[in-house]
Structure 1
């Protein structure tokens, strides 16, 4: 039994901070899940570093560029592809724990941290676009964020308050 499994046995959920496509495709995420990781948080910085340090996204970037997507849309679609793959890998944990664990947490745009309406619409859009039951929207715990968190939870959206 791994130390991560031991932690789970004590009621602790170990989450991984950050993923990128090479980490997923090289089975490193799968291996860590098998060792006891129960969730993942993401950050746009992870995608930026992966883009700067490799070519793992080149094919999807070219395809999206040919479709006429703008750069911000391309970046978001790249991230969504990685998040969807990760939530699919974590889904058995979500099922086994009856929704306690097995999530991937996805950041909202921090520029929207001070508007309830912006956080609410962004949170709902992210959850809808990723389209997985075990995606979690990460909302900053600002005054506006607290209000948006309550509304998102009321809408059935999984929330990670930071």
Structure 2
């Protein structure tokens, strides 16, 4: 059952797990996924942490210690999540070493309430970076308008960043520009550019979920928008990172900001449960999957070669056809960003409530 995942990895796709818990780390499950399932990275979010805390007895001792020290809810959340991510970074350090820092990465998100606060985001990114203190860490910063300068400032400080919540092609170009600008600033300050890494997380399934709601049940455009958006994003990536500006930085040791396909669990049961993996195979990208999708691909996923490169015209036709149906691309991606930020806020509130309940025990 690992042959299909090996084929995906051999095709140049880095397989990351979109989940983390103390149980996974301490039982050796995470290490096993690395050796048995070709997993080479981990992404987290507040919902993942809330779920782990609600189910996990392994947090109780640390919660008791924090409570005895007088830690409030925010301090407890910070301590619990940074410990898990630090330990996961340590578990993935061999992958980091073997891939020259490209993989073996673990992501942790800045507090969602800072999404519209540039300075607050930079300060929290720096705090998380210093607290976890591992070279294979990525700080997740949302690609809001206010997030773009925070991304640039963090990169300039030598902090590696996972840019999250990207839906629109225009915003993605802004993200790549922020990364390059941050590298230019880092270079001016004499930093080693080869040590600064970034991925840009393009959300997939939510695009289809929103567009399909606006289409007739028998429309041939159903299930086409998300992949079209991703294929266009990859074309933009190729364009930007083959520019003279990018080449000048790459010549100094800088790394490309890899596209990361996020939200790749299929939401519509009518679609193949491996759709957002098999149709997004291209070297030099990351696919972060919930375990259910990972196991589905291990069981019956197909790798048929590069399914992304050269499909920009086909993808643009899908977007144009949607516009003719009265479905505005700009409106859809803007709505998805708003909803995405709200989901982040709701997830954070859930995490705080879960931790508050743990602190209130006894």
Unaligned ranges ≥5, structure 1: none
Residue 154 of structure 1: aligned partner: 156
Question: Counterparts of 2:6 and 2:96 in 1: how far apart (Å)?
Answer: 15
Residue 48 of structure 1: aligned partner: 50
Post-superposition CA distance 1:124-148 (Å, at most 9, x none) = 1111111101110001001111111
Task: Out of 103-112 and 47-56, give the one that drifted further.
Answer: 47-56
SS in 2 for 1:106: strand
Residues 25 and 31, structure 2, Cα contact 8 Å, conserved in 1: yes
Residue 13 of structure 1: aligned partner: 14
Task: Out of 21-30 and 79-88, give the one that drifted further.
Answer: 21-30
Question: Counterparts of 2:76 and 2:46 in 1: how far apart (Å)?
Answer: 13
Q: How many residues align?
A: 162
Deviation at 1:51? Answer: 2.2
What does residue range 20-99 of structure 1 map to in structure 2 within 5 Å? 20-35=21-36, 36-99=38-101
Post-superposition CA distance 1:90-114 (Å, at most 9, x none) = 1111111111111101011111011
- The CA RMSD measured in Å over matched residues stands at 1.3
SS in 2 for 1:92: helix
Larger radius of gyration: 2
TM-score by length of 2: 0.43
Q: 1:123 aligned to 2:125? A: yes
Deviation at 1:2? Answer: 3.8
Moved segments of 4+, more than 4 Å: none
Question: Counterparts of 1:101 and 1:54 in 2: how far apart (Å)?
Answer: 27
SS in 1 for 2:39: coil
Residue 260 of structure 2: aligned partner: none
Unaligned ranges ≥5, structure 2: 165-362
Residues 15 and 40, structure 2, Cα contact 8 Å, conserved in 1: yes
SS in 2 for 1:100: coil
Q: Give the 3 Å change call, closer, same or farther, for CA 100–57 of structure 1 in structure 2.
A: same
Match of 2:105 among 98, 103, 106: 103
Question: Counterparts of 1:4 and 1:144 in 2: how far apart (Å)?
Answer: 37
SS in 2 for 1:13: strand
TM-score by length of 1: 0.94
